[in-house]
Structure 1
Amino acid sequence: MEINTHVIDLPERIYIGNGIISKVPEYFDQICLKEPYLIVTGKHVRKIIVDKITKEFKDYDIIEVEDANLDEANKVEELAKKLKSNVIIGIGGGKSIDVAKFTAFNLNRKFVSIPTAPSHDGITSPFAAIKGLGKPVSMKSKEPVAIIADIDILSSAPKRLINSGIGDTLGKIVAVRDWKLAAKLRGEYYGDYTASLALLSARHAMNTTRIINRDLTYGVRLLVEALISSGVAMAMAGSTRPASGSEHLFAHAVEMLYPEGPLHGELVGVGTIIMAYIHGINWREIKKALKRIGAPTNAKQLGVPDEIIIKALTIAHTIRPERYTILGDRGLTRASAEKVAKETGVIP
């Protein structure tokens, strides 16, 4: 079989540990990152973390972003050009990191990921969710040259954000099944090793739900490693296929119909329950795992009207028509969507 050239860009160094945030300048020296630096962060994170990192920096600037949208990304890009920044550093949650990696990709600069909440696998992946591009899906972005994950900081994130990361990672159970289905029915490329890595992430997330209530620090470390390996799986596949399937299409559909609603990972968790049911996977185990940590498992807990759930299920297949999943080309009828949502207890 002829194999086309496939380039895999992976992080040069991943640092994980307790209280390591103060060692950032030392880590930068180890991997020869040169100033000037541009730090992309949020207002809250800047006050509590960024100042600790920049004490030994000489040539740098900081820009705060409020959302992961095209306008904010353009502002960051203009400042990076003006400063001639060699490295763009994302410090914070998903928004700051997504804008930083998207800008780094556009300018071909090095990107460093310093997450403050384990809310999704974007801390590692070379893809970013940027609003304003006309698509509710992730765009190709820069892979991190380094990831610095301080478990003390990540463990202090709001529990809801931690649970969101668990929900996002459990979704790989469905994503890999959808990917394999597309390979069988559409002849799409399928990577066994990459799929196995994504499923390993999901298993770690499942184990996290059994551990985190009694040992937060260890549970968060396990989750962070799962998020990182999920991001690596996407980098190896060259797409989001190992980590994003019909469960993500459902989440994106709800986000489109009901903006400013639940967290992305919360929607993915509920989407995983529904799509696992359709696949014939043990959806009850997934629902039980989410209940263990107090994550939403139904529309009421999500704060989303039942009608939005049903509508999202009927249009999910149109979000990325080129991505074949268990939803097929025609998606679910309204009657089927209502039946599935009721059978899984997502709506009463």
Structure 2
Amino acid sequence: MLSVEQAGQIDPWLGQSVECACGKTHSVSIRKVVIERGALDALPSYAQERGYSELLLVVDKNTLDAAGRELLGLCKAAHLNVSLCVLGADERGELAADERVIVQLMLNVTPAVQAIVAVGSGTIHDVVRFVSHKMDRAFFSVPTAPSVDGFASVGAPLIIGGFKQTIAACAPEAIFADLALLAKSPKALIAAGFGDMLGKYTSLADWQLGRVLFGEPHCELADEMTRQGLAMCVDYVDEIAEGSELGMRKLMEGLTLSGISMLLVGHSRPASGGEHHLSHYWEMRFIQQRRRALLHGAKVGVAAVQMAKLYEAAAALSKEAVAAAIAERQARGDVLTPERMREQIQAGYGSIADQVLAENGLAALDATESAEQQELPQWIIERWDEVRAVCGNVPPSGQLADALRRVGGPTTVDELGVEPELLEDSLKYAKYVRNRYTIIRLHQWL
């Protein structure tokens, strides 16, 4: 019988269904995870065992050189019928998980293809995950850099009509992470993977806020799995900074555990909170301004530092101070009514405002304040001791910044390339990226 005590391990959960203490039955569809030197060699034999003789390898120009050609040769040597799809960059020389790239891949999936292999990092995996799900093909993962936690997850973050949204798709059937390959990753991509993991401090706290204030469903197993994956990365930060194979193993194991935690509960709550909302908001604004994209994990790491500052400020407040702050806001009418939220979304999202309004249940012009919204100020005051305890469990922002600095990642918006004005806008508008309770939404009352 599997238990929370095994949350820091990967293999026991593979291919399992678990009756969880949270009341749900969790299923892990991933059958195999290989994180070792020479993991690429294991893919052809696994494909043969599963009866997949027709494979499509999906790469871009960089991952073709990093691993694509080697894997192509290994598959041919194993007498598999294998073809190659090289995803093309856009006019700015970038690859984004958008409609253009999705269609390009779909056109390369012939009726004979049985399994699609993502050879790359986050973007390639997001596209392959979605297309594999829609076209009912097996999905294999070959990470070329430990840059994101989405390798094992079920959600595909896609940019549709300029709006970043996560669409339910499928987890990979198998993951083959070659430590020798990962150790050659650019330092910036390694730092990005660490930044994505560091953001779990604030995403897990945001999930707890939802539980405390709204009774949001919470799973101790998924929480603990993410927490142990995070602890693994923090404990081995020096090895990760060195880019050693041990460091790559621990980072990849942490990223995989985070992905499995999302797979368990069927959503990204254990691993994505306000820090991801800032990251997504910056990304969407960059798209609107036709600017070059920033690394996802680098954005998440910097955003986590910003969220930790909000948590620090909240943890310093007494219940009396909170009650006074809320009363003052209510007295001067500084509260977010549905009408004011609509106005903010229109101001903060421009051409994609309609999609954001729909995400927040505000598409109808006659949308009214819910009973939960009306009761929330009193709930915050009554439950402040528990809320404050959640806030106090987030490490200080300086500690997160120090950890990012050790792996060579950016720690401030200036280092990242986000202007102070955009940061200010994101702290005001990014809470609408997802209809999900986070420290940003709590902070609007304090």
Q: Same fold (TM over 0.5)?
A: yes
Q: What is the deviation of 1:208?
A: 3.0
Equivalent residues in 2 for 1:117-132, closer than 5 Å:
117-132=145-160
The aligned counterpart of 2:227 is 199
The aligned counterpart of 2:433 is 319
Q: Select 2:128's aligned residue among 100, 103, 113.
A: 100
Q: Select 1:59's aligned residue among 81, 87, 95.
A: 81
Task: Give the distance between the partners of 2:33 and 2:271, measured in 1 at CA.
Answer: 20
Q: Select 1:47's aligned residue among 65, 69, 81.
A: 65
SS at match of 1:314: helix
TM-score by length of 1: 0.88
Distance 1:4 1:84, change over 3 A: farther
Task: Give the distance between the partners of 2:51 and 2:122, measured in 1 at CA.
Answer: 23
Equivalent residues in 2 for 1:5-20, closer than 5 Å:
6-20=25-39
Matched, 1:25 2:44: yes
Task: Give the distance between the partners of 1:71 and 1:97, measured in 2 at CA.
Answer: 15
The aligned counterpart of 1:172 is 200
Task: Give the distance between the partners of 1:245 and 1:265, measured in 2 at CA.
Answer: 13
Task: Give the distance between the partners of 2:58 and 2:178, measured in 1 at CA.
Answer: 18
Equivalent residues in 2 for 1:199-238, closer than 5 Å:
199-214=227-242, 216-238=244-266
The aligned counterpart of 2:100 is 71
Q: What is the deviation of 1:207?
A: 2.0
Are the equivalent residues in 1 in contact too, given 2:121–2:145 (CA < 8 A)? yes
- Runs ≥4 in structure 1, deviation > 3 angstroms? 2-7
SS at match of 1:174: helix
Task: Give the distance between the partners of 1:28 and 1:197, measured in 2 at CA.
Answer: 29
Distance 1:187 1:171, change over 3 A: same
Are the equivalent residues in 2 in contact too, given 1:176–1:245 (CA < 8 A)? yes
Are the equivalent residues in 2 in contact too, given 1:40–1:97 (CA < 8 A)? no
Q: What is the deviation of 1:33?
A: 4.0
Q: What is the deviation of 1:213?
A: 3.5
SS at match of 1:88: strand
Distance 1:33 1:316, change over 3 A: farther
Task: Give the distance between the partners of 1:212 and 1:291, measured in 2 at CA.
Answer: 12
Deviations, residues 310-333 of structure 1 (Å, cap 9, x unaligned): 11111111111x21111227x659
Are the equivalent residues in 2 in contact too, given 1:136–1:252 (CA < 8 A)? yes
Unmatched 5+ residue regions in structure 1? 337-348
**Cα RMSD for the two superposed structures:** 2.1
Q: What is the deviation of 1:77?
A: 1.9
Q: What is the deviation of 1:120?
A: 0.2
Q: What is the deviation of 1:6?
A: 4.3
The aligned counterpart of 1:186 is 214
What residue identity is the alignment partner of 1:327? I
Q: Select 1:276's aligned residue among 296, 303, 308.
A: 308
Q: What is the deviation of 1:134?
A: 5.2
- For this pair of structures, how many residues does the alignment match? 329
Are the equivalent residues in 2 in contact too, given 1:170–1:202 (CA < 8 A)? yes
Matched, 1:292 2:406: yes
Distance 1:48 1:164, change over 3 A: closer
Q: What is the deviation of 1:46?
A: 1.8
Percent of aligned pairs with the same residue? Answer: 29
Deviations, residues 70-111 of structure 1 (Å, cap 9, x unaligned): 22112222332x333211111112121111111011112211
SS at match of 1:128: strand
Task: Give the distance between the partners of 1:288 and 1:49, measured in 2 at CA.
Answer: 33
Larger radius of gyration: 2
SS at match of 1:200: helix
SS at match of 2:150: helix
TM-score by length of 2: 0.70
Task: Give the distance between the partners of 2:37 and 2:237, measured in 1 at CA.
Answer: 21
Q: What is the deviation of 1:23?
A: 3.2
The aligned counterpart of 2:341 is none
Q: What is the deviation of 1:7?
A: 5.0
Are the equivalent residues in 2 in contact too, given 1:22–1:52 (CA < 8 A)? no
